[in-house]
Amino acid sequence: MFKKSKPQKGIFSLFTSLAMASIISTSVSAGNIYPPPAGMGVSKHVSNNLTLHVKNNVPARFIRQVVPYKTSQPVGTIIVNTSQRHLYLVLKNGYAMRYGIGVGRVGFTWSGTHKLTAKKKWPGWTPPAEMRKRQPELPKYMKGGIDNPLGARALYIGSTLYRLHGTTEPWSIGKSVSSGCIRLTNQDVTDLYNRARIGAKIVVI
């Protein structure tokens, strides 16, 4: 006699859990944990790209990923779309690596075309004079490290005071918060740092 098989409860849930574990494991093993400066630890900051976004309630659209992207700009160009809160690194064959970003708050946004002129690991920070006038409590200079607002990496834009840099506030990704610089999570800016080349074109729109 033919008997109906019983539904396998929980199979989809189990599969989803295993898939998520695989993603997290791959993210960690792929080198998304950024190393600290000599003599410093980052245990309280360590997180892979996926869990960091979940922990800080950052929408999924800001998780780093390869996406289809049509542009006339050459491979290696960095395109910052401030209204979308996305940065695109142009890849081959109609694709780009897309990163979530935090941008300048009202009155501090800008646009233009420049070149990537320098890259630094754990950069020091010298707040501009105008910023120190607005915030006199800021130091004249802050040594690079885990508490530095520029984060783990900085990419310098032309001869401007602006940078693409990491952040100690990953929850600010997707928001208008800075004084004009473009911020990424420390994991994402480290990934961009490793991919981008000095002299690359930077387009901010």
Catalytic residues: 165, 181
Query: Rounded to an integer, what distance in angstroms lies between the CA atom of residue 26 and that of residue 48?
Result: 10
* β-bridge mates for residue 79, sequence order: 88, 203
Q: How many CB atoms lie within 10 A of CB 30?
A: 11
Q: Half-sphere exposure of residue 3, counting CA atoms within 13 Å on the CB side?
A: 3
Tokens of 86: 């996305």
Assign 149 to helix, strand or coil.
coil
